[in-house]
Structures are given as structure tokens and as C-alpha cells.
Amino acid sequence: MKLLPLVGLMLAAGCRAKQPDDATIADSAAAPLSVPYDQHILAGGTAPRGVSESNPFAGDEKSAAEGKRLFSSMNCDGCHGGGEGWVAPSLSDGRWRYGGSDAALFQSVYYGRPKGMPAFGGLLSAPIIWKLVTYVRSLPPPKAVPTQGW
Amino acid sequence: MEPPRTTLVRLLLLGSVVAPCTGAAQRPDDGQWVMPGRDYASTRYSGLTQLTSANVARLKPVWNFSTGVLRGHEGQPLVVKNTMYVVTPYPNVLYAFDLTQPDYPLKWKYRPMVDPNALGMACCDAINRGAFYADGRIVYNLLDGHTVAVDAGTGRELWNVKVADLSEGETTPMAPMVVRNRVLVGPSGGEFGIHGWLKALDLATGNLAWMARNVGPDRDILARPRTFKPFYDRGTDLGLSTWSGDTWKIGGAPVWGWLSYDAELDLVYYGVGNPGPYNPEQRLGDNKWTNSVLARRPGDGSLIWAYQFTPHDNWDYDSNAEMILVDLVIKGRVRKVLVHFDKNGFAYTIDRSNGEVLVAEPYAHVNWARRVDLISGRPVIDSAKFTGSTRGNVKYICPSLEGGKSPVSPAAFSPRTGWFYVSTVNLCMDFNAEQRARIRGTPFIGASTPYVAGPGGHMGGFMAWDAVSGRKVWEIKEKYPVWSGVVVTAGDVAFYGTLDGWLKAVNARTGTLLWKFKVGSGIVSAPITYRGPDGRQYVAIYSGIGGDWALLSGDVRSDDPTDVRDPADFIRDLGRYTSGGGMVWVFAL
């Protein structure tokens, strides 16, 4: 838990004036998202109710760069490689096991996933997670998928 | 610190006069395979003689079975009382095949509950290294930190106990060893900042008998003043004083390899893995007893001696490889030794009664150290190869952190030739370390380490090694790293497998290839041989590429459409020759 002040400092240093107020975003994380998984088959063709939030840093290059540093300092790269996958899936192939929208990625980081993805929601504030999401979304999918030739 | 007598021994190491090894390997072969290394000495030597270098060319597959699991199939089957026992990688199914019936039908299969979160805490694929048979029980570890004992006859679970803490990054892919009524187990997690240990469980109940840390104060590592006598080191609390600050508490020291046991000396031997994190500047000092061999009493866990192969590891040179116990004639005198092929590229011949290093010579291309000084027992390190977060990207260190030989691939010893049979890896690496914080339940690594092929361009090999002279006898070069274990037989045949899926038989005296068969997926397991109920000699092995090679070779696992990867630059074409697929194969004449 002694990490929290550290990430708080990193965040404060990286914030731009035009970005949303951090306290507001952190408060919104107090009522965590319930994101419908957009790839689910809908029984009866009817979508369940759920909320989705938009990424306050979507497309922001500076946030993506901060997210890249966080991706290392939070040890994400130990399992996901440099984003290209290791024991955990590739995050740069344009394919998503648990949904690839910003909100779905937020949910994966915040709550974790059952095949070994730790839940970071107790450690990281919402703005931090959104920056990680922004970084992951900035990774360019490779050109050669789905065919690999020799 | 020690008198120069070790130098004398070194100078007088003449010829390779080899006595037959003692202990379990010397007993007549009953045709079974009841423990991972075949015997407590971990020789992986079989006295069966039907297969010989003259007839092995006629070997044919007679049976196979898909395990239904695609992950890396390490370890080996057991054969006990005409039943073959197979443990799969996660989800750790245990199969019991009836070898007395046509088609070897299952007697039963045991499907334990295993926490899928373990998939995220296992550093490098969700593998398992096998089971141990003792007293009518099959004992093995589940990936998620549980040890189970199953009735070998009925498949009924006798006990299932939690030994390791997933939330700390501890997983348990290693094969336990049973000595008398003690089940010895240890955790993986050198990449997660664990505080490594060895535990002894009661064979009847699974209850904890004792626990010994591998690092920390003497009271925790069970080093007692009267009984702990390391050959090269003096002082107390070495597992504490050789670490800066409290770094020992998250310093790794995993136990993911193999154990050996000498009944006469009543000592258990096991290798300890790397210190964490990889960035050595975060843990100054020797970091004892990481990268070491420890000798303990199985009864109460007392540490008797310890020797550190790689002090202050800068390169992730875990020492989890097997300790093979043999008696060799050195300087005209029979010595009880253990022979160990360390990831650091040196092969060690060590007096197993006291930890004195008798021979330490490179068996692979080594450039991080010039030699091992036998007076101090320490490597003479090339300072240009030190790594650390202030040193940037240190180029071309050999061997790579895969090791000159991997602990995954246990070697074999033949008392007939007096040689060791060893799968090798010929890779070098760059090492770019950076500062990291430990966050519980996440990796604690902090280095990127890309590989290139070592000198010669081939990435692996298979060799015969003379542990008296510290010399290679012969070597076969292989295109890819060789990551299989070995079995050698009284018919002078040695078996090993390749990452592109060939099981090979070679003449143990000459290294001549005698036979090969393509099993469909890369081999990262260890072959065994046994006598069937029909009196014939069989060879069994798992296929199923995994571990680092499945992770580095790109899309060799095609079971997840949401995960597609490129191969690493140094091994771009392995995926042309193999993909995942776990099977048990049995061969006979």
C-alpha cells in the first residue's frame, strides 16, 4: 500500500490542465462500473442493463506515454511481455478475450479476470487505470494477422 | 579461506577411472519407474537390456494417448505394478493406465479442482514436472499450491493440502520427493518476489512436519551451530547478512527443480533458484542461499551444508537443476560426489558429504566468468558482464538465462560408461535491468533479456560428459535448444527429444544417431523405460511443447482465437515444425 503515494505523485506530475479533475474520476471509481460484455450472445436478443463510461484520456498521447511507464512500474509487462504477450495474452493483436472497449479494459484491470489477471482496483485509482487503458489502446495491431507465412 | 588442498585434488584429477555408482542405481532393475529420476540418486539409468545399440533401429510406436491438454508437457510418467501414471499440465489431471490390458485402457482418472488464478502466477507456462510413488500412494503437486496424495490402486484422494500461497506468487509445478514418511515440496516464484522454502509433509496425513526457508536468519533456514558446516563459508546468519536491508524477505529463492537423496549419509539435496528481482542493484551482497545447493536431513530439515554456485546472481542463473549422486574415483580415491550442470554454464563435481567442489569446468560457452576458483569456491567474474539498472543494456552474455542446460531437462548417468548424458542450450543474451517495486501478486522481474544463438549458430545440443576430468566426450549439435530429459540404459542407448518433435536414440558410447521418430509436438519432457507385464522393454515419453519455447515461438498454441503472437526474432521458424499437443507415447521393438 505504500505504493499509493507514489502513483499519486506520478499522476499529479503528468496531468494537463484541460483534463478532468482527478478527484472526480476517483470518486466515480467508488461506484465501480458494470460493463456489459459487448461480445455476449443476448438471450432473447435483449441486452442486460449496464453502464459504460468513456475514457477521459482517450487518444491522448501524453496519457498513453504515462500509461506505458505505468505498464512497467505496475509489473504488467512481467506477464504481458511488452504488450505482445507472455503467459498472459497479447494486448497488441487487436483481439480481446474479455472485450476491447475502453470500458471493458478498465473493468479487466479494476476487477481482474479469472485466469490469473490480478485485480488492481484496490491499488490504483481510476485515472491511473484509464491511462493504462489509453496505453494499451495505443498499441498498433500487427499487419500480418491472421496469416503467418514462412 | 580454505587450505590449498583443493588445488592439489584439481591437479591430480587423472583419467576417468569410474567406479560403479552406489545407492539405488546399483540394485537390480525391477523394470519399474517409481520416482522422477528413476532412483534417489537421480541417475535416470535403467538396467534393462533388451534394447541395445544393435537393435534400437527397429523401435516402433505401439501406443499413444492424447492428454487433452495443450500446455507444456514436462516431467515423466511413472510405471508401478503394471500401471502407468501420467500427470498433465494444468489442470493437473492424473491418469492411471492398465498396462495388463490390450489398448492400455484407463483404470481411473483423477480430476482435482485447481484454481485457474494459478495461470497468472506461473512465470512461464502452466507445467507440471511429475509425480512420486510411495507406499501405495501417488503424490504430486497441483499448480495452485496444493499437494495431493491419491491411492495408487483406486484413484481415491487420500489428502489434499495447501502448501503454497498463490497470492504471494507461489505456484507448485515441481515433482515432490518422498523420503521415508516425509513428502518434500517447494514453490516456484523467483519472478514474483517470494520468500522461498522447502516443506516436509507427513506422507500419511499431509500435515506439515517442518518448513525450512532458503534465505533468512539461521533459525528460519534451520542452520544450527553444531550441524551446519558449509565448506567455504564461515559465520552466522549468512542468509541474512548477505542481503541489503530487508531485501531477503522478497528475495525469491524458489524450489522448482529436482531432489536427490543419499540414504547412507541421510542427506537430501536440492538446488535453489534465482534471487529477485533480476536487477541486482536492488539486493546487494551474495544473496545466500539463492543459486545454491542445500543438503538437509529429511527427518527434521536441518541444514548440513550449502554451496552457492553464483553469488549475487546478475543473470538469472537458477540452480534448480538435478544433483546426480554417484561415486567417482578422483585422485585414486573413491569420492561420494554429486554432479550438477548449472544454468551458469559450469558443470560441478562436488563432494556430497561436505560440499567441497572437486571439479568445476564449463560445459557450454561461458563469458560471464573466466573459471571457478576451487580454493574459494567462487566464480572469477568478468566485470564487463555485471548487470544492473545503472549499467544499461549489457550485451552478449553467455549462457542466456535459459542456462547452458535447463533444469527442466534432467541429465542421466551410465555406470557402464561413467559418463553423463546432457541436453544443452546454446544461447546468449543481452540484459537490460531496471528498477522495480514489488507489488504482491504481480511479477517482480525488472529486466528485458533478448536471446541470440551462441557461437556456431546452432541453439542446442546433446553431449556426453566426463565429470572426473570435467571434459566433454562427444556432442551432437541441434538446430534448436534441447529441453528434454534423458534416459540411458544398460543396452548403451541414450534417449532424448527435440523441440521440433523428434525422439532420438543414440549410441551412448559414440554419440551416433541410431533411430528417430517424429511425435507431432516438441518434446520438453523426460523419457523413461520400463518392463511391461509381457516382459518386453518399453520406452515412454510425452510430446507437447511448452515452457518458454511455446511462449517464444509465436503461435504454436492455436487454441485461443483472441491471442495471436509473433515469434521471437531468434527462433522465427520453430512454429513451422511444431505446435502444441500433449500426448503420451510408448515404443517397443
Going by pLDDT thresholds of 50, 70 and 90, the confidence category of residue A144 is low
The whole-angstrom separation of Cα B249 and Cα B76 is: 34
- Spatial distance between the Cα atoms of A116 and B120, rounded to a whole number of angstroms: 4
3-state secondary structure of B440: coil
Of all residues in chain A, the percent with pLDDT exceeding 90 is 54
Is residue B445 less than 8 Å (CB to CB) from chain A? yes
Give me the pLDDT at residue A7, please.
36
User: What letter does residue B528 receive in the DSSP assignment?
Assistant: E
Name which residue leads in pLDDT, B533 or B556.
B533
Cell numbers found for residue B568: 521471437
**pLDDT cut 70: percent of chain A above it:** 74
**Alpha helices, DSSP H, located in B253-306:** none
Strands of B94-136, DSSP E: 94-98, 106-110, 132-134
Q: Is A118 on the interface with B (CB under 8 A)?
A: yes
Contact B562 A146 (CB under 8 A): no
**Which residue, among A128, A148, A150, would best test binding to B if mutated, counting the most B CBs under 10 Å from its CB?**
A148
B507 noted as active-site residue: no
Tell me if chain B has a CB within 8 Å of the CB of A79.
yes
Cross-chain residue pair B560–A89, CB shorter than 8 Å: yes
pLDDT at position B9 is: 33
Domain limits, chain B: 5-588
Chain A CB contacts of B445 below 8 Å: 75, 78
Query: What is the 8-class DSSP label of residue B200?
Result: E
∠ CA B539-B540-B544, nearest 5°, is 145
Residue in B241, B301, B280 with CA at minimum distance from that of residue B436: B280
A with B: how many residue pairs have Cβ under 8 Å apart?
86
CA gap B295, B268 in Å, rounded: 5
CB-based contacts of A52: which residues, under 8 Å, 6+ apart?
A33, A35, A36, A101, A103
Cβ-defined contact of A72 to B434 (cutoff 8 Å): yes
Nine-digit cell at A117?
Answer: 489477471
pLDDT 10s digits, B58-78: 999 999 999 999 999 999 999
User: Is B191 assigned a catalytic role?
Assistant: yes
Q: b/e per residue, B401-432, with b = 16+ CB within 10 A?
A: bbbbbbbbbbbbbbbbbbbbbbbbbbbbbbbb
Distances (CA, A) of B323 to B272, B278, B348, B352, B381: 11, 24, 10, 10, 24
pLDDT in tens, A61-112: 999 999 999 999 999 999 999 888 999 999 999 999 998 999 999 999 999 9
Phi/psi of residue B493, nearest 5 degrees: -120, 135
Contact call for A116 and B120, based on CB within 8 A: yes
Q: What pLDDT is stored for residue B178 in this prediction?
A: 98
Cell 561461458 sits on residue? B366
d(Cα B413, Cα B419) in Å, to the nearest integer?
6
B residues 390-419 closer than 8 Å to A (CB): none
Nearest chain A residue to B441 by CA: give it: A118
DSSP structure class, residue B19: P
Q: What are the two backbone dihedrals, phi and then psi, of residue B120, each rounded to the nearest 5 degrees? A: -95, -10
C-alpha cell at B210: 517442518
Answer whether B200's CB lies under 8 Å from B270's CB: no
Q: Which A positions 20-59 lie with beta carbon below 8 A of chain B?
A: none
Of B117, B437, B565, the CB nearest to A93: B565
| B209-241 pLDDT per residue, tens | 999 999 999 999 999 999 999 999 999 999 999
Question: Does the beta carbon of A115 lie under 8 angstroms from any beta carbon of chain B?
Answer: yes
Do B557 and B506 touch, CB atoms closer than 8 A?
no
Given a contact cutoff of 8 angstroms between Cβ atoms, the answer to whether B189 and B121 are in contact is yes
Which pLDDT value is given to residue A33?
A: 63
Three-class SS of residue A67?
helix
Choose among A76, A77, A95: nearest Cβ to B562: A95
Supply the mean pLDDT for chain B: 94
When the candidates are 3.90.1720.10, 3.30.1280.10, 1.10.3720.10, 2.140.10.10, the CATH number that belongs to B5-588 is: 2.140.10.10
**Interface residue B555 vs chain A (CB under 8 A):** yes
Closest Cβ opposite residue B564 in set A3, A86, A146: A146
What does the domain layout of chain A look like in residue ranges? 63-142
The 3-state secondary structure of B443-503 reads CCCCEECCEEECCCCCCEEEEEEECCCCEEEEEEEECCCCCCCCEEECCCEEEEECCCCEE
Are B442 and A78 an interchain contact pair (Cβ–Cβ within 8 Å)? yes
Give, for B550, the enclosing helix (H) or strand (E).
helix B548-552
Q: Report the distance separating Cα B523 and Cα B483, nearest Å.
A: 7
Q: Name the least confident of B115-129, B534-548, B552-566.
A: B552-566
Task: Note if B214 is an active site residue.
Answer: no
> Cell 489428502 appears where?
B159
CB B428 within 8 A of CB B365: yes
For chain B, what percent of residues have pLDDT higher than 90? 92
Comparing CA positions, the residue from B528, B564, B204, B507 lying closest to residue A143 is B564
Please list every residue in chain B whose beta carbon sits closer than 8 Å to the beta carbon of residue A93: 563-565
Residue B380: CA count within 13 A, CB half-sphere: 10
Res. B6: pLDDT tops 50:
no
- Cβ of residue B573 closer than 8 Å to a chain A Cβ: yes
| CATH classification code of A63-142 | 1.10.760.10
Contact flag B437-A123 (C-beta cutoff 8 Å): no
Distance CA B172, CA B176 (A): 9
Sign of CA dihedral B320, B349, B378, B269: positive
Cβ-based contacts of B444 with chain A (< 8 Å): 75, 78
Can the peptide bond before residue B77 be classed as cis, meaning omega within 30 degrees of 0?
no
Contact in structure between B169 and B441 (CB atoms under 8 Å): yes
B563 and A118 within 8 Å at the Cβ level: the answer is no
pLDDT band at A146 (very low <50, low <70, confident <90, very high): confident
pLDDT at residue B10, rounded to an integer: 33
B569–A contact, CB cutoff 8 A: no
Asked whether the CA dihedral B544, B191, B255, B43 is positive or negative, the reply is positive
Read off the pLDDT band of A46 (50, 70, 90). confident
Query: Is the bond leading into A142 cis (omega within 30 degrees of zero)?
Result: no
For A68, what's the count of Cα atoms within 13 Å in the CB-facing half-sphere?
Answer: 9
- Its ipTM equals 0.90
User: In this predicted structure, what is the pLDDT of residue A26?
Assistant: 45
- Give the Å distances, CA to CA, from B185 to B92, B145, B288, B299, B474: 16, 10, 20, 14, 35
Out of A96-105, B121-130, B132-141, pick the least confident: A96-105
Place B17 in a pLDDT band, splitting at 50, 70 and 90.
very low
- Catalytic residue, chosen from B74, B170, B191, B351, is B191
